[in-house]
């Protein structure tokens, strides 16, 4: 897939180059000789578009619909990326907080159960060790 993306990148650069040459030739139009050069450049341009289409059909890149909507509204995709990363960080922090809260609850529950039910103290100690508890008595 990387080779296909590189190929598509090369084709895009070629298309940009073709368009630039066509722009220059249009600006400096001097008659039949320029027309022949423009015809040849247009043929190269069409060939590059066909090659790009083929390269694009071989790639399996998925773009989130939200990102497409974002770009269609003339907004910078970097802003979308930043917002996505910030949301992921927020959710990760929330998940970390929950994990720490459950770990603290595990430790407190284990201690309370060991003091309340001494008969199963060894089983609780084993469970707390297996779950990486910091408080094992």
Percent of the chain whose pLDDT exceeds 70: 96
Decide: residue 88, CB within 10 A, 0-12 exposed, 13-18 middle, 19+ buried. exposed
Domains in the chain, number:
2
CB 128 within 8 A of CB 107: yes
Cα distance from N-terminal residue to C-terminal residue, the chain = 55
What's the confidence (pLDDT) of residue 79? Answer: 92
Q: Are residues 94 and 56 located together in one domain of the fold?
A: no
Q: Are residues 74 and 123 located together in one domain of the fold?
A: yes
Q: Are residues 52 and 83 located together in one domain of the fold?
A: no
Mean pLDDT of the chain: 89
Q: Are residues 135 and 71 located together in one domain of the fold?
A: yes
45/14 Cα distance (integer angstroms)? 8
Start-end of H helices in the chain: 2-27, 32-58, 65-72, 77-116, 121-130
Q: Is residue 56 very low, low, confident or very high in pLDDT (cuts 50, 70, 90)?
A: confident
Statement: residue 110 has pLDDT above 90: yes
Query: Which residues, in sequence order, are CB contacts of 134 under 8 Å at separation 6+?
Result: 103, 107
Statement: residue 59 has pLDDT above 80: no
Residue 120: closest CA among 129, 130, 105, 110: 110
pTM check: above 0.75: no
Point out the domain boundary residue: 44, 61, 78. 61
Point out the domain boundary residue: 61, 83, 99. 61
Q: Are residues 79 and 28 located together in one domain of the fold?
A: no
Question: What is the mean pLDDT of the segment spanning 111-115?
Answer: 93
Range of the domain at 118: 64-137
105/74 Cα distance (integer angstroms)? 48
Q: Is residue 3 very low, low, confident or very high in pLDDT (cuts 50, 70, 90)?
A: low
Q: Could you read off the pLDDT of 70-98 as tens digits, one per residue?
A: 899 999 999 999 999 999 999 999 999 99
Statement: residue 9 has pLDDT above 90: no
């Amino acid at each position: 897939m990387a080779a296909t993306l590189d190929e598509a990148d090369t084709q895009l650069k070629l298309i940009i180059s073709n368009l630039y040459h066509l722009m220059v030739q249009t600006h400096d139009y001097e008659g039949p000789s320029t027309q022949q050069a423009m015809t040849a450049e247009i043929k190269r341009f069409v060939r590059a578009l066909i090659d790009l289409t083929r390269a694009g059909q071989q790639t399996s890149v998925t773009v989130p619909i939200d990102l497409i909507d974002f770009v269609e509204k003339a907004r910078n995709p970097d802003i979308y990326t930043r917002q996505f990363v910030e949301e992921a960080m927020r959710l990760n922090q929330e998940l970390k907080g929950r994990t720490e809260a459950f770990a603290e609850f595990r430790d407190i529950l284990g201690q309370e159960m060991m003091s309340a039910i001494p008969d199963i103290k060894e089983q609780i100690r084993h469970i707390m060790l297996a779950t990486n508890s910091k408080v094992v008595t």
